[in-house]
């Protein structure tokens, strides 16, 4: 919560129904209508996000799109447009970074900001939060909910509690009273299994978890038990870690003997795709664009690219895309000196699960 006597001021900024909101902003005919972004309701698609008009019918993210359509036949279903979401996200995050360089990207629509040393003329985190909400509304015509607290844990729960289009400030003196009545599931790192284990111990609320003996938590959850104990007391020392954006990731090979058979080229591309996909997974990022590079013996170099509507980390998909792009070159008729596969339009991998929405 603090370093010495230096209390941190952390903001959690979470855009409201972000994907749907971008579409509604750009197409005024959608205003006031239930909107779902996700997969095909006639196929195996699932809901990525639903605006609040759609949520009134019980529609929520990760629900099969076919069920969402049954709940509300008048729902407008839209395919994801990640390049558009990413461009808009960059503009929103530029506003955040004008206020503080300490911005941690969680996803395209969610970030932590450490404003402890960047309070500006107002001198308060709450005024900074109001300024962010005003600028996002006026400059981007979208809404963002902001939670303010002495650490990431409290700020995140605060923003969740004030959605949509809200602001919740939890000063250090009120952290315990804010957390105590909440179900333990609201704490970071408490999933269904941990929730069930705590329930078996008679613990359902944060107050009950805070009162539970630490040795019992350590015996049941080992090191995670100490983290649960700290969270129940409103303690979270996790720093805000700025996300340094990587523009692309790739690999290439120059061959001592030129490749002449396209089957051999395909094998090379599959191997490169596996290497690139492994790099994405290790860095916890996903890619929307695959680029193939081909160099012929006379050093003529060409590139071909394809951008997906949904990001991927899938080696098979990257490889098949690169091989399809190869067919758009002269590789079948000319020898090849160099091959390369790279990916770009990178996004935090928190959204790579949305690959499920692409039924293709």
> Mind telling me the catalytic residues?
110
User: Are 323 and 315 contacting, i.e. CB atoms less than 8 angstroms apart?
Assistant: no
Determine how many CB atoms are found less than 10 A away from the CB of residue 343.
27
CA distances from 323 to 152, 181, 221, 310 (A): 44, 56, 48, 19
- 254 by Cβ neighbours in 10 Å (0-12 / 13-18 / 19+) ranks as exposed
CA distances from 49 to 35, 60, 83, 168, 258 (A): 9, 7, 16, 23, 49
Neighbouring C-alpha atoms within 13 Å toward the C-beta of 352: 17
The order of strands in the sheet holding 76-78 is: 47-50, 35-38, 76-78
CA distances from 240 to 101, 103, 179 (A): 10, 7, 21
In angstroms, the CA 73 to CA 66 distance is 10
If you count them, how many residues does the chain have? 360
Pairing of strands 35-38, 10-15: unpaired
- Which DSSP state fits 201? T
The order of strands in the sheet holding 144-149 is: 103-107, 110-114, 10-15, 144-149, 167-169
In angstroms, the CA 245 to CA 78 distance is 28
């Amino acid at each position: 919560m603090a370093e010495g006597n230096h209390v941190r001021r952390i903001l959690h900024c979470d855009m409201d129904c972000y994907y749907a909101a971008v579409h509604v902003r750009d197409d005024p005919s959608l205003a006031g209508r239930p909107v779902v972004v996700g997969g095909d309701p006639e196929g195996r698609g699932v809901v990525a996000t639903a605006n609040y008009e759609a949520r009134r019918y019980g529609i929520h993210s990760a629900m099969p799109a076919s069920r969402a359509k049954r709940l509300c036949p008048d729902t407008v279903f839209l395919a994801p447009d990640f390049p558009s979401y990413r461009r808009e996200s960059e503009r929103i995050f530029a506003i955040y970074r004008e206020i503080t360089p300490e911005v941690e990207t969680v996803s395209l629509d969610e970030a932590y900001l450490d404003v402890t040393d960047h309070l500006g003329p107002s001198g308060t985190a709450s005024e900074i939060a109001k300024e962010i909400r005003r600028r996002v509304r006026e400059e981007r015509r979208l809404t963002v909910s902001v939670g303010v607290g002495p650490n990431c844990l409290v700020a995140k729960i605060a923003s969740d509690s004030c959605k949509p289009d809200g602001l919740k400030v939890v000063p250090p003196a009120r952290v315990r009273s804010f957390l105590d009545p909440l179900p333990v599931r609201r704490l970071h790192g408490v999933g269904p299994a941990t929730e069930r284990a705590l329930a078996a111990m008679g613990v359902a609320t944060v107050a009950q978890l805070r009162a539970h003996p630490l040795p019992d938590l350590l015996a049941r959850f080992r090191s995670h038990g100490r983290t649960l104990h700290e969270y129940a007391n409103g303690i979270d020392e996790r720093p805000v870690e700025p996300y340094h954006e990587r523009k692309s990731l790739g690999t290439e090979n120059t061959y001592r003997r030129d490749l002449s058979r396209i089957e051999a080229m395909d094998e090379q591309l599959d191997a490169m795709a596996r290497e690139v996909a492994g790099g994405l997974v290790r860095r916890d990022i996903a890619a929307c664009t695959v680029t193939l590079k081909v160099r012929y013996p006379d050093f003529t170099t060409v590139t071909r690219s394809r951008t997906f509507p949904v990001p991927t980390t899938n080696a098979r998909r990257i490889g098949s895309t690169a091989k399809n792009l190869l067919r758009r070159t002269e590789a079948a008729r000319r020898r090849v000196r160099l091959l390369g596969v790279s990916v770009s339009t990178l996004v935090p991998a928190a959204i790579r699960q949305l690959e499920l929405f692409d039924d293709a």
